[in-house]
Amino acid sequence: MGQIEWAMWANEQALASGLILITGGIVATAAQFAQWYFGVYSIAAGVFVCLLEYPRGKRRKGSTMERCGQKYMTKVVKLFGPLTRNYYVRAFLHLGLSVPAGFLLATILGTACLAIASGIYLLAAVRGEQWTPIEPKPKERPQVGTTIKQPPSNPPPRPPAEARKKLSEEESAAATSVPSGPQENPIPVTDEVV
Amino acid sequence: MLILIPVCRNLLSFLRGTCSFCRSTLRKQLDHNLTFHKLVAYMICLHTAIHIIAHLFNFERYSNSRKATDGSIASVLSSLYNDKKEENYWLNPFHSQDMTVEYVTFTTIAGLTGVIITIALVLMVTSAMEFIRRSYFEVFWYTHHLFVIYFIGLGLHGIGGIVRGQTQESMHESDPRKCEESFQTWNDHHPSCKNPRFEGHAPESWKWILAPLILYLFERIILRGYRSLQKVEIIKVVMHPSKVLELQLTKRGFSMEVGQYIFVKCPSISYLEWHPFTLTSAPEEDFFSIHIRAAGDWTENLIRAFEQQHSPFPRIQVDGPFGTVSEDVFQYEVAMLVGAGIGVTPFASILKSIWYKFRQDDRKLKTQTIYFYWICRETGAFAWFNDLLASLEQEMEELGKVGFLNYRLFLTGWNSNIAGHAALNFDKATDILTGLKQKTFFGRPMWDNEFSAIATAHPKSAVGVFLCGPKKMAKSLSKRCRQHSSLDPRKVQFYFNKENF
């Protein structure tokens, strides 16, 4: 039990609570129950909670499966810095959000579920967990230009190995010889076109 | 009710055993028990939502009727029999005008149990999401036991009798079709229509859940409890490379078939957790063995406990064996066995069993040819299986049946070092990594080639494809099974079977 990251479960629970809040709110508003304005609040709170909880945080150990299309919300959630990183803030935020929905029967289930999620987030915060965004690793582009520094030093046609050894002795002796043209042919090459 | 039956594993094993004369397609459905369990769970969630929404409307209407002052039939019905001194013939559960819907919800049995069990349901579902279940199994396992609260609450949910109907005698006295128009005159001493009387419907959900609940509790408590009290002796403990622990055990009265699994509990590590492991020994041996890989809290603690070699070893309790598809392997003429990494364990049991059946010259083996594919990331994991394959290789040669077992090992986590080493030793007769005659392949298998080769080699057979591995591989293999099965039912047919825990 020691390695459990409670925040992951709290995240699932909060997401589910958000959906329940939205559903309860829609029912209450559409049917114009008594005090249906709480239903409107519940829809708004539910949407907010869903958007906040949609990007899954990164696990401390092991790989994390991203939710479909979460990278856009990850950017937004990251913007708020410590407000979204810290789980104490999330715990109390969810607790606060859940209270008004408790006044209407249609949304009271959302209240209960969100309050439970808030409790689990509190547990996660006490154990020092944090929300870290899942970011794609920057792709390493091989820089084509920089790996080629000089043209090849011994391009074909190349003489066999013995001639090359002799040539290197000659070259070290005649270090001052000026290369004629872009390539120095180790074996005299004749143009055979007649 | 349907949610409990797919997890009664003893019942499923029993059905599988008695249905051996049924066609295998019927029995295959028993292997999808967990999928069915999840589908039923989704249905329960959907219908819970519908039920709750319906009752929200219902309560709202009751509340409005109670507060109505327009003398409509709804308000007249609502005001009947509201003093508790008379008998319980009321219709509207809102007995006074100031009762709010929330008050009635939380002070009636139905409302209270409803809220509690719905919260339990939500918690069970969120902790059972695939991500949570795979990464933090204990959260899922312990939270899922909220089902006890769920079923108790479900049984009690209807006791309050809030859903009401007219009593039989009242129906005779005041038939609604006759009397609904004249509701304003019911209270006059008019003999034809008296005030209708209502009674609550008896609770009925217990009738649906009682039998499966008793069955499940019997399995969990009695069978598992009885089995856990039986003594399990540890004969041998082997630590293999790559942190794989092999335990060889015996238990009185234990008998198994190939590819079955058992639940194992180690009280010194955790009093409540039972974990499933595939059996890697053959039924012909006089012990049963499991190979355990370090994959989480419980397994790591177990391996550490055995590594320290203190005697006495920690006590082990065993429940099982429970059956899976591998039992069908011998029913196919040609079998393709594919195991990914530790997923090879059921096939270890099968291959060992084949070895024994060969030695005893068992004529009941329908299998003529076996193709075995083992796909693995690192070489260390091969080691414990090496001896088995080496002895099988030798056995085949001795008996002259070289074509019976064809195996291909694939190393997917290779680097240029290993590949270079293999290239240098290309000419050697045995493979450098495993010491077996069959060379290790690098990379993933090209399934299309394998399937077409097998289809060409066995044009008229039914080929059973068995996989223990990841979902993607399952999709890829089942697609190829469909592609390479011939349209003519007399020619080669590939049947795909997948098992996974």
Q: In this predicted complex, what is the ipTM? A: 0.72
The predicted structure's pLDDT at residue B32: 77
The predicted structure's pLDDT at residue B374: 85
The predicted structure's pLDDT at residue A147: 63
Give the rounded percent of residues in chain B with a pLDDT score beyond 90.
10
The Cα of A24 is separated from the nearest Cα of chain B by a number of Å equal to 8
Contact B131 A65 (CB under 8 A): yes
Q: Nearest chain B residue to A104 by CA: give it.
A: B102
Tokens for B143, please give them. 């939270």
Give B202-227 pLDDT, tens digit per residue.
888 888 889 999 999 888 888 888 87
Peptide bond connecting A157 to the previous residue in cis, omega within 30 degrees of 0: yes
**Integer Cα distance of A11 and A142 in angstroms:** 38
Indicate whether this model's pTM tops 0.90: no
pLDDT, averaged across chain B = 81
Give B278-309 pLDDT, tens digit per residue.
888 888 888 999 988 877 778 888 888 888 87
Is the confidence at residue A17, as pLDDT, over 90?
Answer: yes
Q: Are A46 and A120 in contact (CB under 8 A)?
A: no
Give A31-89 pLDDT, tens digit per residue.
888 888 899 999 999 999 999 998 888 888 777 888 888 888 888 888 888 888 888 98
Question: Which of B413, B432, B436 has the alpha carbon at shortest distance from B423?
Answer: B432
* Choice among A157-166, B65-74, B413-422 with the minimum mean pLDDT: A157-166
B60 touching chain A per CB within 8 A = yes
Give B36-54 pLDDT, tens digit per residue.
899 999 999 999 999 999 9
DSSP label of B223: I
Contact A2 B136 (CB under 8 A): no
Is the confidence at residue B360, as pLDDT, over 70?
Answer: yes
Contact A113 B119 (CB under 8 A): yes
**Integer Cα distance of B324 and B335 in angstroms:** 16
Q: Which among A13, A16, A105 has CB closest to B59?
A: A105
The predicted structure's pLDDT at residue B253: 82
B119 touching chain A per CB within 8 A = yes
Mean pLDDT of A12-37: 90
Contact B139 A4 (CB under 8 A): yes
Please, which pLDDT band fits residue B125 given cuts at 50, 70 and 90?
Answer: very high
Is the confidence at residue B476, as pLDDT, over 80?
Answer: yes
B443 to A89, B348, B474: CA distances (angstroms): 48, 22, 18
Please, which pLDDT band fits residue A150 given cuts at 50, 70 and 90?
Answer: confident
* Choice among A78-82, B326-330, B389-393 with the minimum mean pLDDT: B326-330
Chain A interface, mutation test: which of B56, B119, B144, B301, most A Cβ atoms within 10 Å? B56
The predicted structure's pLDDT at residue B50: 94
Q: Are B425 and B448 in contact (CB under 8 A)?
A: no
The predicted structure's pLDDT at residue B25: 64
Q: Are B137 and B297 in contact (CB under 8 A)?
A: no
What is the four-CA torsion angle of B399, B400, B401, B403, rounded to 10 degrees?
A: 150
Mean pLDDT of B78-90: 70
Is the confidence at residue A177, as pLDDT, over 50?
Answer: no
A116 touching chain B per CB within 8 A = yes
Give B169-196 pLDDT, tens digit per residue.
877 777 777 777 777 777 666 566 777 7
Around Cβ B268, how many Cβ atoms within 10 Å? 12
Contacts of B480 (CB under 8 A, 6+ apart): B447, B448, B451, B494
Mean pLDDT of B247-275: 86
Give the rounded percent of residues in chain A with a pLDDT score beyond 90.
27
Q: Which residues in chain B are contacts of A4 at CB distance < 8 A?
A: 136, 138-139
Please, which pLDDT band fits residue A175 given cuts at 50, 70 and 90?
Answer: very low
A2 touching chain B per CB within 8 A = yes
Q: Which among A9, A105, A112 has CB closest to B119?
A: A112
User: Greater confidence, B250 or B440?
Assistant: B250
The predicted structure's pLDDT at residue B298: 85
Q: Tokens 């060992």 sit at which residue?
A: B352
**Integer Cα distance of B277 and B481 in angstroms:** 28
Mean pLDDT of B342-371: 77
The Cα of A13 is separated from the nearest Cα of chain B by a number of Å equal to 6
The predicted structure's pLDDT at residue A194: 56
Is the confidence at residue B149, as pLDDT, over 90?
Answer: yes
The predicted structure's pLDDT at residue B436: 67
Contact B132 A12 (CB under 8 A): yes
Is the confidence at residue B444, as pLDDT, over 70?
Answer: yes
User: Greater confidence, B287 or B79?
Assistant: B287
Contact A116 B123 (CB under 8 A): yes
The predicted structure's pLDDT at residue B241: 73
Mean pLDDT of B448-476: 85
The predicted structure's pLDDT at residue B406: 83
Peptide bond connecting A142 to the previous residue in cis, omega within 30 degrees of 0: no
Mean pLDDT of B119-147: 87
Is the confidence at residue A165, as pLDDT, over 70?
Answer: no
Is the confidence at residue A158, as pLDDT, over 60?
Answer: yes
The predicted structure's pLDDT at residue A139: 67
One-character DSSP codes across B107-119: HSHHHHHHHHHHH
A residues 58-77 closer than 8 Å to B (CB)? 59, 62, 65
Please, which pLDDT band fits residue B385 given cuts at 50, 70 and 90?
Answer: confident
Contacts of B296 (CB under 8 A, 6+ apart): A3, B137
